[in-house]
Amino acid sequence: MIVVGGGPAGCVAAIVLARAGLRVRLLDRATFPREKLCGDTLNPGALATLARLGLHPADDGLPIRGMLVTGPGGAQARGWYPAGVIGRAIRRLDLDQRLVQAAAQAGVTVIEGARVDSVVASGGAAPHVTGVRAEIRNRLSPMPARLVVAADGRSSRIAHGLSLARYARAPRRWAVGRYFIDVAGLGDHGEMHVRAGRYIGVAPLPAGLTNVCVVTTDRSALRDPGSLIAGAIAGEPELADRFARARPEGRPVSLGPLAIECDLPGAHGLLLAGDAAGFVDPMTGDGLRLAIRGAELAAAECLNALDGGDASSAPMRLAIRRRRELGRRLRVNRLLRSLTGSERALRGAAVATRVSTWPVQRVVRYLGDVSAG
């Protein structure tokens, strides 16, 4: 077995397969630890999924007990998780390294610095994947495998190369993230400041760091990502005051276009996992949970195929399982994505929030995978 991608989805898929007794190689082009643009927050559902697998990579992360959501005209609402239920905020740099280490401890052969741009396949229009082509220390060589799991992210060269994934038509958004230190007024919750054409995510992290991520529809603003973040903060009076003494830490990182659509998560001999199987808009905060659970489902279908199931139909079986279990959540994400992409709808939601914050509470609990009560 080969798993491409050493993020949370790839590591979870590799761990599940290795624990089932398979020989698994995990390939990633990076050398860990490595930086990764992310909201740096695991919601309660993601933590519960990891814990069920005996994985606790974020136990020292800051507890997150809910979300502050603000909108145009001063509208704001707080959605809290039930008592005793928390998420965790932890840098992806730390999370990914710990999961890679857990994969190695499970018996997975981890190969860092391995660039995989394509698969080895036969069959023309209906390819049968029999391995990957990996470049390791400037040497390109084929690596055969009975099955391949592609968990190489939203820009997956494997998924896009086989026309299995595509960028969502609308709304097109790009993200820029940066860390800050000495930000004032942080609490035990994440923040989402939604405005016409963009939103700003703020999350407290261990060691006094704060994650700031600006998601915008203005691609031209990415020419100067540092100025984009600084301008977004300065344009929000509440944030401007709290960042008055803050200092940036490290360089800004850009990503986009964001949302990825995928109808069939694989081909004969190949299954997609994590963001390669569809990347949601990060505003909902449940991207890691979807990636981790999606990786479990992909690993389960691999085991089914290797245990006598029809490998050629594994992608369709995975699509059905994903639709049954994750489909509703993905539809909610698309609905929220459309809502925030419409200035008129956003103003209407802000007015409604002033009347009642109950809908925000319900959404926060639903997306956090906890009972709405």
The one-letter amino acid at 322: R
Average pLDDT, the chain: 91
Q: Quick one: pLDDT band at residue 87, thresholds 50, 70, 90?
A: very high
What pLDDT digit, counting tens, does each position of 329-368 carry? 888 877 777 776 677 777 777 777 776 777 788 878 877 8
Q: Tell me, what's the pLDDT at 168?
A: 84
Q: How far is CA 372 from CA 83, 285, 336, in A?
A: 12, 16, 18
User: If you ran DSSP here, which 8-state letter would residue 65 be given?
Assistant: -
292, 12 Cβ separation under 8 angstroms: yes
Residues in the chain: 373
* DSSP symbols for 265-313: -EEBTEEE-GGGG----GGGS-HHHHHHHHHHHHHHHHHHHHTTS-GGG
What are the tokens at 23?
A: 């020989």
The one-letter amino acid at 43: N
What pLDDT digit, counting tens, does each position of 279-306 carry? 877 766 788 999 999 999 999 999 999 9
Q: How far is CA 63 from CA 88, 89, 242, in A?
A: 5, 7, 21
Compute how many other C-beta atoms are within 10 angstroms of the C-beta atom of residue 188: 14
Residue 129 has pLDDT above 70, yes or no: yes
CA dist., res. 103 & res. 10, Å (int): 9
Task: Provide the sign of the torsion angle of the four alpha carbons 345, 350, 355, 360, taken in this order.
Answer: positive
Specify the fold of 174-256: D-Amino Acid Oxidase; Chain A, domain 2 (3.30.9)
Let me know if 93 is exposed, middle or buried by CB neighbors in 10 A (0-12, 13-18, 19+).
middle
Q: How do the domains of the chain map onto residue ranges?
A: 2-40+91-167+260-334, 174-256
What pLDDT digit, counting tens, does each position of 146-201 carry? 999 999 999 999 999 999 999 888 778 899 999 999 999 999 999 999 888 889 99
What are the tokens at 289?
A: 């949970």
Q: Tell me, what's the pLDDT at 373?
A: 34
Q: Tell me, what's the pLDDT at 267?
A: 96
User: If you ran DSSP here, which 8-state letter would residue 106 be given?
Assistant: T
Mean pLDDT of all residues in 13-31: 97
Q: Tell me, what's the pLDDT at 75?
A: 83
Structurally, what CATH architecture does the domain formed by 2-40+91-167+260-334 represent?
3-Layer(bba) Sandwich (3.50)
CA angle 8, 9, 14 (to 5 degrees): 100
* DSSP symbols for 199-242: EEEEEE-GGGEEEEEEEES-GGGGGSHHHHHHHHHHTSHHHHHH
More confident residue, 367 or 63: 63
Q: Tell me, what's the pLDDT at 110?
A: 98
Residue 108 has pLDDT above 90, yes or no: yes
Helix axis angle for 343-355 and 358-367, nearest 10°, is 110
CA dist., res. 127 & res. 256, Å (int): 28
What are the tokens at 336?
A: 């929220």
Q: Tell me, what's the pLDDT at 28?
A: 97
* Bridge partners, residue 345, by sequence: none
Range from 71-75, 322-326, 342-346 carrying the lowest mean pLDDT: 342-346
Mean pLDDT of all residues in 90-101: 97
Q: Tell me, what's the pLDDT at 283?
A: 66
Distance of CA 75 to the CA centre of its chain: 28
Q: What is the pTM of this model?
A: 0.93
CA angle 99, 18, 137 (to 5 degrees): 65
Mean pLDDT of all residues in 98-104: 98
What pLDDT digit, counting tens, does each position of 188-224 carry? 999 999 888 889 999 999 999 999 999 998 999 999 9
Residue 88 has pLDDT above 50, yes or no: yes
